[in-house]
Amino acid sequence: MNRILVADDDADIRGALRIYLEAEGYEIVEAENGQEVLDLLGKSSRGLLPELQLILLDVMMPVMDGIICLHKIRENYNLPVILLTAKSENSDKVLGLTVGADDYVTKPFDPVELIARVKSQLRRYLLLGNANSCQEDNNSSHLTIGGIDVYDDEKKVTLDGEEVSLTPTEYEILKLFMLHPGKVFAPAEIYRNVWEDPVPGAEGTVAVHIRHLREKLEIDPAEPRYIIVVWGQGYKMTQGN
Amino acid sequence: MKKHWKNRTLFKVLIPFLQIACITSTIVFALLACYCLSRGGDMYRASRQSVEQASRAAVTKNYSMIAATHVADKSYGRSALSGTNFQYGIITGHRSDIDGYINKLTASDLTDPKLYAYQNFKDISRLTPDNTKEVTILHYPCSKWASYQSYTDGPFSVGSVYVDEQTVTHTIKGFGLEKNSRTPYVLADGIWYPLSEDTEYTALIKENQKTVFSYADDGTDERLPTREEIRELIKHNHYSKKNTTAFYRIRYGYNMEGSDGYLYIKPEEMKEFDATKLADSKISTLTATPDTLTTFSTLDNDAEDEAIVVSYVPKELDMSLDDDYVRNQNFIHFFFDHRYLFIALSILSFLGFLVTTALFLCLAGHTEEPMPSSKEENIRKLSDGTWLQRWGIARMPMDLWLLLLLCFLGISGAWVESINTGFGGLLVHGVAYCILGGLFAELLLYVLVVNLKLGNIVKRTLLGRFILALVNINNGTQIQKKARNGFIIVTVLEFLAFLVMSSTSLGGVHSDVFGLLFVCWVALRVVVFIALKKGTDILSQSLDQAVTERVRAERFQTQLITNVSHDIKTPLTSIISYVDLLSKESLDNNKAEEYVEVLTRQSARLKKLIQDLIDASKASSGNIPLHTQRVNSSVILSQAAGEYEEKLKTAGIELQTFVTAGSPDSDNPEAKEVYILADPQQLWRVFNNLLSNITKYAQHSTRAYVDLEEVNGRIRFIFRNTSATALHVSADELMERFVQGDASRSTEGSGLGLSIAKSLTELMGGSFTITIDGDLFKAIVDFPAI
């Protein structure tokens, strides 16, 4: 049973979050502000409370706001923190991620997306090891970036440990990205590398395939974490956050 | 609170005055020392004796002059010179070699009283050649026209003897011709005066108004013809008697101002005489110069007469007498007794000057409290709470002050020239000069120091301001730049014209006058120029102000919308969440389910509306940071189309993409990439809005077209689709905020999409147009190609 700390000054929102998350089988602990979050974390680390696995943290809270609270959390803890905030500006997201948030969800949130992100963070934290016990896999047929694992021998792809079914073209595109993380591929380049009989001028189909790939691998395809659109240039793979 | 000395009014007033007093006394004492020392011969080896001797020689010269100039009135200067140590004798008479005569005199005996026209030697036997040191022999003009001018005073000053060139005017009583010399004479008061050599005269014979003979014309006889000879000439040459006239002609007035002309004398009026047969008193030794028709003037040549003054001054002066010798000796004794005091005082007061100057430099500009309403640039607060300020005259441009000082120096040059009243006068003028010049220099120093302390010294000169104004116009408006260029061109042209004019010296006008006029003209225009610049500056300033105010207002508006949106989002989160939870509850009521469905839809729309509101506000106020870069136009378009293809397909719309820009054609067989300058993220948002509009508003089972064209160096992204509902609004209205094509507003969307797209495109330097042709909706995003 994973325990999630929900910090928000609005009791109704805490209530809604409790309903959604408890329906998924998580145990919920509530906090009204940043100071309470720190107190609860301190208690759990001293063994007074059961251990917490994830924090949903609102940014705008009285007493101590989410950004300062996150900053203090990161001094001692490495458990995943998802910021939950009404602030949707890019600069706010960048600030949150810089301070140490693992993910960012804007209010009003889509419950499905929120739960997907919570699950993703928990899986990565628990399965891939909170002590960074990332299994050192010398098998060259196994590629891993963020929560995505590609097992080339089995032609199998997993996202946060759950298998994802891809078409052969999508699989080839993903493999190309996984082999060169961070590199920006122009659509024409992807087309040349993936398609067996490239027809000139048909690069437009690449965008469609990548869109599909994103829909399968990303929680929110419009705000991708792994397969990023570099507008006007191409696409690239990142480590996620 | 104890005031800092720099801020005390007492010091402010006292120190400049002390400073001027010090430099004045420095100069006075230095002047005293230098004056005395230089008159004693070599300044460094001056002794009391040499200075005394110089003074004595000067006095002896002056007294001799007085004696000589009183020869003509036979007083021999008795009244002026009695009761002095000056004993003298005067030798008169005309001598051609006066220096030789004096040499002979000194060698021989001077003790003969008969030698002198006047003498007052107490013991004439002392004038032996052995006592040459005490005897001085000088000679000066002594005519009645000579006068003594003591234009200086003081122990060493020497006066001079002026001789007036005395002319006497006579009235012409008649003309005559001396038979032997054949020179014309004029008669006045019964005395004949020969014409001066400068006077032009001739004899003329005219027949029928035509000159047939003039004196010396034939070159054979250079003598002026007599009456008889003229008659003979007429007879000899057979001139017709009736029409022939003969006369003498004498030029008058040629060396005088006013009228000049000729005197015509008939031969009958010309008296002929023989000078040898007339008495001496009837013939003058002076020459006559005709001035007018009736007068002539003579020059008195007695002026060249000189008198020899032999003087004796005993070595030991009689101190009881009150004369220049005694006075000078007393003064020189006084000076020599105190000369080191003078030098010391001079040095001391110079030191005082240095100290007061240093103090003045320190306190200049400091004040406890600045003048009210001082401009920012004229004051500066110091760390101890006092102020530096530029006030009053210090605000005047420095080069004007320099000009004033130069003017003063120029005037003082003329002033120095005019000082001729001797040592005392020199002292008085020196003091006045020091005080006035000191005041000027003091003020200039004050201005300079204050400006240096407050900085920005270039701006404190007119020239600097002018040059700065010219340079600053680079950031100015187009009109100002044009005015500057025009000013420079016109000034250069004028300067060239001035050069040409001054080199040709037009109409005899001196080039200096042109130079002055030119400088005045340019100065006048500089003033006009600066005034104009000020005016336009104020204009553009108010314009700038209006613009910044507007920008600030828009920014404030954006801020407000963003903040309000955040506050709305919190309750909205609860609404959406609980509506969602409600929809998951098993409601045994169909109507309730329907209502919940409406709530879900509308709350989602509200969410979208809020986000779009923030975006629209930011985009229209330009409050979005742009990361502009080269963007491959075909790649971004195919990426955008790829993102939407699936969504459009589900909406029943087929997307067709045509890229003609950069594709091979008959002119360019090679395909090329076409780039534009834009922020790719924002450009995607523009496309995103347009494509999402197509999914929302296009008619089911139609095609939508996305084209990329290059027209006249501009890249155009064209989005076309067939509208599902009739469009009853104009294209312009569609781009307004909150306007939607369908009046019912039933579909999702905020009505802000096109407005945001337009704002973002224009922010990136592109243009965004919409055309509506029936059901055909067409959006064109247009960027210049690079």
Range picked from A99-113, A190-204, B233-247 for highest mean pLDDT: A99-113
* A27 touches B: beta carbon within 8 Å: no
Is residue B203 less than 8 Å (CB to CB) from chain A?
A: no
**CA gyration radius, chain A:** 20
pLDDT surpasses 50 at B744: no
B578 touches chain A (CB under 8 A): yes
Question: What are B514-564's pLDDT values in tens digits?
Answer: 667 777 887 887 788 778 778 877 888 888 888 888 888 877 888 888 888
* Residue at A148: amino acid letter: I
- Å between B565 CA and nearest CA of chain A: 8
What is the structure's pLDDT at B506? 54
Contact across the interface for A108 and B577, Cβ inside 8 Å: yes
Strand partners, A103: A82
pLDDT the model gives residue A18: 93
Give the one of A88, A108, A187 whose C-beta lies nearest to B576's C-beta.
A108
Measured between beta carbons, which residues in chain B are less than 8 angstroms from residue A12?
574, 577-578
For B674-695, what is the mean pLDDT?
90
Taking the CA of residue A73 and the nearest CA in chain B, the distance in Å comes to 24
Nearest to B577 among A111, A187, A211 (CB): A111
B720-742: per-residue pLDDT in tens? 998 888 877 777 777 776 666 55
CATH architecture under which domain A3-126 falls: 3-Layer(aba) Sandwich (3.40)
Q: Which residues of A touch B569 (CB under 8 A)?
A: 86, 107-108
Write down the pLDDT at residue B51. Answer: 75
Determine phi and psi for A175, rounding to 5 degrees: -60, -40
pLDDT at B662 over 70: no
B632 touches A at CB < 8 Å: yes
Alpha carbons B724 and B741: distance in angstroms, whole number: 10
What is the pLDDT confidence band of residue A200, given thresholds at 50, 70 and 90? Answer: low
Nearest CA in chain B to A235: B639
Q: Which residues of B touch A206 (CB under 8 A)?
A: 638, 642
Q: Which residue has the higher pLDDT, B150 or B511?
A: B150
Determine contact, residues B785/B710, Cβ cutoff 8 Å: yes
Q: How far is A143 from chain B (nearest CA, A)?
A: 27
* Bridging pattern class, strands B270-273 and B288-290: unpaired
CATH number given to B624-784: 3.30.565.10
Contact B451, B365 (CB under 8 A): no
Q: Percentage of chain B with pLDDT > 70?
A: 87
> How much is the pLDDT for B9?
77
**pLDDT tier at A22 (50, 70, 90 boundaries)?**
very high
Mean pLDDT of chain B: 79
Q: How far is B764 from chain A (nearest CA, A)?
A: 15
* Token representation of residue B639: 């990426």
**B577 and A13 in contact by Cβ < 8 A?**
yes
- pLDDT, residue B209, reads 77
- Structure-model confidence comparison of residues A113 and B392, the more confident one: A113
Kindly tell me if the per-residue pLDDT of B150 is higher than 70.
Answer: yes
Which of A159-163, B141-145, B656-660 shows the lowest mean pLDDT across its residues?
Answer: B141-145
% of chain B at pLDDT higher than 90 = 3
The domain ranges of chain A are: 3-126, 142-237
Gap from A207 CA to chain B (nearest CA, Å) = 4
> Hey, what long-range contacts does A36-41 have (CB within 8 A, 24 or more apart)?
A36/A7, A37/A5, A37/A7, A37/A69, A37/A73, A38/A64, A38/A69, A38/A72, A38/A73, A40/A5, A41/A5, A41/A73, A41/A76, A41/A77
Q: What DSSP character marks residue B302?
A: G
Strand bridging mode A27-31 / A3-7: parallel
Which pLDDT score, from 0 to 100, does residue B286 have? 78
Contact of B167 with B437, CB cutoff 8 Å: no
| B687: confidence class by pLDDT, cuts 50, 70, 90 | very high
pLDDT band at A145 (very low <50, low <70, confident <90, very high): confident
By Cβ distance, the residue of A86, A212, A232 closest to B569 is A86
| Cα–Cα nearest to B731, from B707, B755, B715, B714 | B755
Higher pLDDT: B93 or B510? It is B93
A13-17, A198-202, B123-127, B336-340: segment of lowest average pLDDT: A198-202
Let me know: does B659 contact B708? Beta carbons within 8 Å: yes
CA of B646 to nearest chain A CA: how many angstroms apart?
Answer: 7
Please state the length of chain A: 241
Fold observed for domain A142-237 = Arc Repressor Mutant, subunit A (1.10.10)
Asked if the Cβ–Cβ distance from B643 to A211 is below 8 Å, we say yes
Please judge whether B573 and A231 are an interchain contact, meaning their C-beta atoms are less than 8 angstroms apart.
Answer: no
* Closest chain B residue to A209, measured at CA: B642
Q: Which amino acid is at B569?
A: K
Determine the Cα–Cα distance for residues B578 and A17; give it in Å rounded to an integer: 10
Measured in whole angstroms, how far is the alpha carbon of residue B18 from the centre of its chain? 32
Rounded to an integer, the average pLDDT of A199-224 is 82
Cα separation of B473 and B15, whole Å? Answer: 44
Q: Does residue A236 register a pLDDT over 70?
A: yes
Distance of CA B705 to the CA centre of its chain: 73
Least confident of B506-510, B542-546, B695-699: B506-510
CB pairs under 8 A between A and B: 99
Tokens of B165: 């060139």
The answer to whether B536 touches B480, Cβ cutoff 8 Å, is yes
Across the range A170-183, mean pLDDT stands at 89
The answer to whether B357 and B19 are in contact (CB under 8 A) is yes
Instruction: Domain ranges for chain B, please list them.
Output: 47-166+305-316, 167-299, 472-623, 624-784
Question: Is a pLDDT exceeding 60 seen at residue A129?
Answer: no
Residue B273, beta-bridge partner list? B178
**Which of B27-41, B59-73, B682-696 tops mean pLDDT?**
B682-696
Residue A109 to residue B632, Cβ atoms within 8 A: no
Q: Measured between CB atoms, which of B570, B611, B642 is closest to A10?
A: B570
- Tell me which amino acid residue B278 is: L
Residues 182-211 of A with CB under 8 A from B: 186-187, 203-208, 210-211
Q: Which of B567, B572, B635 sits opposite A232 (nearest CB)?
A: B635
Chain B residues 639-698 with a CB less than 8 Å from chain A: 639-643, 645-646, 657, 678, 680-681, 683-684
What's the rounded Cα separation, in Å, for the pair B142 and B303? 7
- Name the residue facing A86 among B566, B640, B678 (closest C-beta): B566
CB contact under 8 A, A232 and B631: yes
The confidence score (pLDDT) of residue A17 equals 92
The two structure tokens encoding residue B408: 């003063």
Average pLDDT over residues A38-63: 88
DSSP tag of B115: G
Tens-place pLDDT, residues B608-649: 888 888 888 888 777 788 888 888 888 888 888 888 888 888
| Cβ–Cβ gap B638/A203 under 8 Å | yes
Partner A contacted by B576 (CB < 8 A): yes
Confidence label for A131 from pLDDT (cuts 50, 70 and 90): very low
Respond yes or no on whether ipTM tops 0.90: no
In angstroms, rounded to a whole number, what is the distance separating the alpha carbons of residues B215 and B202? Answer: 5
Q: Tell me the average pLDDT across B455-461.
A: 77
**pLDDT at residue B714 is higher than 70:** yes
Least Cα separation, residue B771 to chain A (angstroms): 26
Nearest CA in chain A to B640: A207
B680/A16 touch (CB, cutoff 8 Å), yes or no: no
